[in-house]
Chains A and B, each alone.
Chain A
Amino acid sequence: MGAQLRVYKRRIRSVSATKKITKAMEMIAASRVVKAQRKVAASTPYATELTRAVTAVGTGSNTKHPLTTQAETVTRSAVLLLTSDRGLAGAFNSNAIKAAEQLTARLEREGKQVDTYIVGRRGVAHYNFRERKITESWTGFTDDPTYADAKNVAAPLIEAIEKETADGGVDELHIVYTEFVSMMTQSALDARLLPLSLEEVAEESHGKGEILPLYDFEPSAEDVLDALLPRYVESRIYNALLQSAASKHAATRRAMKSATDNAGELIESLTRLANAARQAEITQEISEIVGGASALADATAGSDY
């Protein structure tokens, strides 16, 4: 076998092995998307009931709470960025990071100081490499977040917002995550989570045009609000974590699918080249034999004289 042909054969073998791996990763990601979507659906009843309850307190009483009051001048904001622990997900992480950077730049233009909180190793690595300050970060659960993880993330954020700005607290909280629109579409977006505007929450749950009854609060409206709002923030963060996980798996699936397709194409074109090389080898051998035979024939014909 000629050297050329051997090189092609070796490359085909290596690309086929890669193709098998990417194919397997694609299948795994596909099954995880379904699982992640199911988790999003399972957390929906809690979130809708909680939204209803918050709306009920918000409209049924005029209580003030640090989580709902807008600071007169915002001097410091917190940005929570949700990325994934692992890559191989196309532009998933870079899109989220880009959205966070745009938001940070906008807030800084408005004269606000920005504290960054990050979930996921990819985001942490990105910020560390550029030697930017991370206030707090969490890693290790982005593929399959639980409610306890969401609580862990929410706790320091709620604490920071309740603290006075002068003591290092923040006035508002933005969250950057990747929304799971469909299997094919996921978009990185930013949203202001706190201070919570009760009107917005009300709008969200009043889509069906229902009129909320006058509730009797137990023990009191203030206490209920006190207990409700942190849970509401946790549930929003939980939802964002779940959507981000579903998006990540969908992005991985897509990236791996195109990698598999590319490997297939590569194998096809390499096979063509290998065939051409083999054919060229055969043609050369034949012409060598024919050339040799005719040279021999010429030589014997010459000796007859």
Chain B
Amino acid sequence: MAAELHVELVAADRKVWSGEATLVVARTTSGDIGVMPGHQPLLGVLESGPVTIRTSDGGTVVAAVHGGFISFADNKLSLLAEIAELSDEIDVQRAERALERAKSEADASAERRADVRLRAAASS
């Protein structure tokens, strides 16, 4: 059996996902980072972007994460985000509408949030 790491994806007001995984890819301020079991202890700042979790049963979980941290120690990975949504929770039409609205209002951060949501929804 491949080595596993325990992942907890928590938003400010709820636990979004937790389980075993073999690989987690997230975007930090200095670039994408992939964490596999046995990685050295790490604490990083996340950019808003999709997080990909390859679960130990072969599936893939994608979540849109807006701001937060990644911390890894003792084979336990925590993803802390102010807002986090799993790809299958994302309402694509609503995100598209939000993107249009953000574009017309030239709201860069809202545009980015909507864009991240759409990308996360598309990649699952």
Please give the residue numbers on chain A whose beta carbons come within 8 Å of chain B beta carbons, in ascending order. Answer: 39, 42-43, 45-46, 49-50, 52-53, 56-57, 146-147, 150-151, 212-219, 223-224, 227-228, 231, 234-235, 238
Contacts and interface: CB of A to CB of B under 8 A. Distances in A.
A56 B42 CA distance: 10
A102 B65 CA distance: 42
Given A147-B13, A215-B43, 9 more contacts: A49-B10, A56-B73, A147-B12, A218-B30, A223-B45, A227-B69, A228-B69, A231-B80, A238-B13
A56 B44 CA distance: 12
Contacts of A50: 69, 80
Interface of B: 8, 10-15, 28-30, 33, 40-45, 68-71, 73-74, 78, 80, 82
9 contacts: A46-B11, A53-B78, A215-B73, A218-B33, A218-B44, A224-B45, A228-B69, A231-B68, A231-B80
A212 B71 CA distance: 12
Contacts, number: 87
Given A49-B71, A53-B69, A56-B71, A213 B41 contact: yes
Contacts of B11: 46
A57 B8 CA distance: 20
A45 B43 contact: no
Contacts of B8: 45, 49
Contacts of B73: 56, 212-213, 215
A42 to B, nearest CB: 5
Contacts of B43: 53, 56-57, 215-218, 224
Contact of A238 (B12, B14, B68): B12
B36 to A, nearest CB: 14
Nearest to B46: A227
Contact of A53 (B29, B33, B80): B80
B82 A147 contact: yes
A219 B78 contact: no
B80 A224 contact: no
Given A50-B80, A218-B44, A223-B29, A43 B71 contact: no
B12 A219 contact: no
Contact of A218 (B13, B14, B15, B45): B45
Nearest to A150: B12
Nearest to A212: B73
Contacts of B29: 218-219, 223
A227 B10 CA distance: 17
Contacts of A231: 68-69, 80, 82
Contacts of A146: 13
Contacts of A213: 41, 73-74
B30 A219 contact: yes
B45 A214 contact: no
Contacts of B45: 218-219, 223-224, 227
> Which 7 pairs across A and B sit closest by C-beta, in order of nearness?
A218-B44, A213-B41, A147-B12, A219-B30, A215-B43, A227-B45, A215-B41
Contact of B44 (A39, A224, A235): A224
Contacts of A219: 28-30, 44-45
A162 to B, nearest CB: 18
B16 to A, nearest CB: 10
